[in-house]
Structure 1
Amino acid sequence: MNPTVAVSLACVIIDDNEINRITLERAVQRHDQLTLAASFPDAVEALSYFHAGGQVDLLLLDIEMPHISGLELVRLLPSPKPAVILVTTHASFAVDAFELRVIDYLVKPVSYARFCQAITHVTEQYQRVPAPVPAPLRAPSAAEPDASGPNDISASGTDLFVKTNGKLLRINFEAVLFIEALSTYVVLVTDKQKHVVGGTLKSIEDRLPFRHFVRVHRSYIVNLHRVESLEDNMLKLGQHEIPVSRPYQEELAQRLRAL
Structure 2
Amino acid sequence: MIIKCISIDDEYLATKVLESHLNEIPDFKLIASFSNPLEAISTIENEDINVIFIDINMPKMNGLDFIKSINTKAHFVITTAHREFAAESYDLNVVDYLLKPIAFSRFLKATQKIKNLFKPDFPQDYGNSEKTSIFIKVDKKHVKVKFDDIFYVESLKDYVKIFTKTGNYLVHKSLTSLEEELPTEKFLRIHRSFLISLNEVEFIEGNSIQINKKRIPIGRKYAETTKNILLDMNE
Q: What is the TM-score when the length of structure 1 is the normalising length?
A: 0.45
Larger Rg: 1
Q: What is the TM-score when the length of structure 2 is the normalising length?
A: 0.49
